[in-house]
Amino acid sequence: MSNKSRARPERSLVELYRDDPERADALAWGRRGALRGTALASMGAALGVSIPFADRLPAGVLPELLARPASAQTASDAPQVFRMEGKEPLILLGDRPLVAETPEHQLDEAVTSFKNFFIRNNGQMPEPATNPDGWQLTIDGEVNTPLTMTIGDLRSRFPNVTLQLQMECGGNGRGAFAPQTRGNQWGNGAIANAEWTGVRLRDVLNAAGLKPSAIYTGHFGADPHLSGATDRQAINRGMRIAKAMDEDTILAFRMNGQPIPHIHGAPLRLITPGWPGSFSQKWLTRIWIRDKVHDGAGMGGTSYRVPTNPIVPGSNNNGASFRELESMPVRAILSSHAHGSRLPAGTRALNLRGAAWAGDLTVRAVHVSTDFGASWTEMQVAAPANRHAWQRWTGRVALPSDGYFEIWYRATDSEGTMQPHAAANWNPQGYGANPISRAAVLVG
């Protein structure tokens, strides 16, 4: 290590990792992957405590608190806070259109309440409906009988269902991609598991009568395009008919026993659980049944699509050989401890909790490591409240001493697929990143 970097080693190492990770590795870890004494001492000094499991830190892995400072650490690193009446503070990712992420540790409720529900708009907000019951939905295209129905009609004509359903943005976890991709740099907080009441889309499509040519849907909402152009949709996606006919895909008019809040799509929205949130059209006015793959705003190319064969990270691609991102990949979140939490000296165990989900699949296991992945402890994972609800997990891990620790948490889905160590299958718009997550805790 040069004298210059030794003079202010903490900053330089972090900066070096941002600018030139290979050189930083060589300086910090040496040839054989052993953490050099000076680097270790400087990391400990930067963190303010010792790193008891430093000997297990894999080569090239920088302590998470250095790589990703906790928001409270310094004012300059603090994310912008989004405040709205009735909501806890969220992390503002964009204001035009409005995009706000829920801090991961706030996702501690079994059923996500309005106050902790993330926001993802692609266009402007529509005017609130003055007469919600009179709101109309049209089903047309490849159907025998096109229908236009009010919410009152839907509610009285079809069986009402109430389900806990996960809704996760297709870009959740995007911030983990290296190199960085375009789009909102989400952490793990673009997920919600609210209780929705509505009618099954399937029942409504059966009432309209699908023609044999019906293979796709196309969803329209009342929100104006960001540009204000009236001939453009803010977002206009569609799904394969099989998902539209799934018994958990619903036309929702209530959220958590209340009318849907305006910002979450009142008075009528689709909930297409387990698939990217963009399939869950807010302010829903029309479903156009198509005889081909729908081609509206947000379809085709690299939009909500991922490579079928890995591409070179950072390269350009027109998405011609990509596939639609449908069922979301497995992910766990930790809600008992915020990244960067400080705990009293002498704390020798952590009671952990969180949630996990896996798109259309279920979660078989959640494991936690506190020694940088050298050993793993299995947590208890509850059954979902119903299909397509997330699953809560709990567990307890012991700590040997005071110091700097990381909680690494990793879920495995019902097919045995685990979260990878790093964001995989890089794609230009950054979908489907679900690497193992890491939260730092400081004891003493």
Q: Which residues bind ligand MTE (CB under 6 A)?
A: 117-123, 169, 221, 223, 234-235, 264-265, 277-278, 280-283
Nearer to ligand MTE, 57 or 255 (CB): 255
372 binds, among Mo ion, ligand MTE, none (CB under 5 to 8 A by kind): none
Mark 391-420 with x for binding to Mo ion (rule: CB under 5 A) and - for no binding.
------------------------------
Nearest to 187 by CA among 201, 177, 172, 197: 172
Q: Quick one: which segment of 23-31, 70-78, 277-285, 292-300 binds Mo ion (CB under 5 A)? A: 277-285
Nearer to ligand MTE, 186 or 372 (CB): 186
Q: Quick one: which segment of 79-87, 157-165, 278-286, 316-324 binds Mo ion (CB under 5 A)? A: 278-286
- Output the smallest distance, CB 244 to ligand MTE, in A: 15
- Output the smallest distance, CB 431 to Mo ion, in A: 9
121 binds, among Mo ion, ligand MTE, none (CB under 5 to 8 A by kind): ligand MTE
- Output the smallest distance, CB 127 to Mo ion, in A: 23
Report if residue 269 touches Mo ion, rule: CB under 5 A.
no
Report if residue 102 touches Mo ion, rule: CB under 5 A.
no
Report if residue 278 touches Mo ion, rule: CB under 5 A.
yes
Overall size of the chain counted in residues: 444
Nearer to ligand MTE, 121 or 434 (CB): 121
393 binds, among ligand MTE, Mo ion, none (CB under 5 to 8 A by kind): none
Q: Quick one: which segment of 45-53, 120-128, 399-407, 436-444 binds Mo ion (CB under 5 A)? A: 120-128
Binding footprint of Mo ion, residue count (CB under 5 A): 4
Q: Which of 12, 29, 57, 120 binds Mo ion (CB under 5 A)?
A: 120
- Output the smallest distance, CB 249 to Mo ion, in A: 17
Distance CA(220)–CA(433), nearest Å, equals: 27
Q: Give Cα separations from 49 to 16, 25, 30, 46, 392 (angstroms).
A: 22, 22, 23, 8, 32
118 binds, among Mo ion, ligand MTE, none (CB under 5 to 8 A by kind): ligand MTE
SS3 of the chain: CCHHHHHCHHHHHHHHHHHCHHHHHHHHHCCCCCCCHHHHHHHHHHHCCCCCCHHHCCCCCCCHHHHCCCCCCCCCCCCCEECCCCCCCEEEEEECCEEEECCHHHCCCCCCCHHHCCEECCCCCCCCCCCHHHCEEEEEECECCCEEEEHHHHHHHCCEEEEEEEEECCCCCHHHCCCCCCCCCCCCCCEEEEEEEEEEHHHHHHHHCECCCCCEEEEEECCECCCCCCCCECCCCCCEHHHHCCCCCEEEEEECCEECCHHHCCCCEEECCCCEHHHCCCCEEEEEEECCCCCCCCCCCCCCEEECCCCCCCCCCCCCCEEECCCCCCEEEECCCCCCEEECCCCCEEEEEEEEEECCECEEEEEEECCCCCCCEECEECCCCCCCCCEEEEEEEECCCCEEEEEEEEEEECCCCECCCCCCCCCCCCCCCCCCEEEEEEEC
Nearest to 37 by CA among 75, 70, 6: 6
Nearer to ligand MTE, 65 or 260 (CB): 260
Nearer to ligand MTE, 169 or 365 (CB): 169
Q: 203, exposed or middle or buried, with CB in 10 Å at 0-12, 13-18, 19+?
A: middle
- Output the smallest distance, CB 184 to ligand MTE, in A: 9
35 binds, among ligand MTE, Mo ion, none (CB under 5 to 8 A by kind): none
- Output the smallest distance, CB 169 to ligand MTE, in A: 3
Q: Quick one: which segment of 161-169, 195-203, 220-228, 301-309 binds Mo ion (CB under 5 A)? A: 161-169
Q: Which of 173, 274, 277, 319 binds Mo ion (CB under 5 A)?
A: 277
Q: Which of 27, 93, 137, 169 binds Mo ion (CB under 5 A)?
A: 169
Nearer to Mo ion, 63 or 189 (CB): 189
Q: Quick one: which segment of 56-64, 84-92, 113-121, 336-344 binds Mo ion (CB under 5 A)? A: 113-121
264 binds, among ligand MTE, Mo ion, none (CB under 5 to 8 A by kind): ligand MTE
Distance CA(178)–CA(170), nearest Å, equals: 17
- Output the smallest distance, CB 421 to ligand MTE, in A: 26
- Output the smallest distance, CB 295 to Mo ion, in A: 19
Q: Quick one: which segment of 31-39, 238-246, 274-282, 385-393 binds Mo ion (CB under 5 A)? A: 274-282
Instruction: At 286, give phi and psi (nearest 5°).
Output: -155, 140
Q: Give Cα separations from 133 to 207, 219, 259, 288 (angstroms).
A: 20, 20, 11, 22
Binding region for Mo ion (CB under 5 A): 120, 169, 277-278
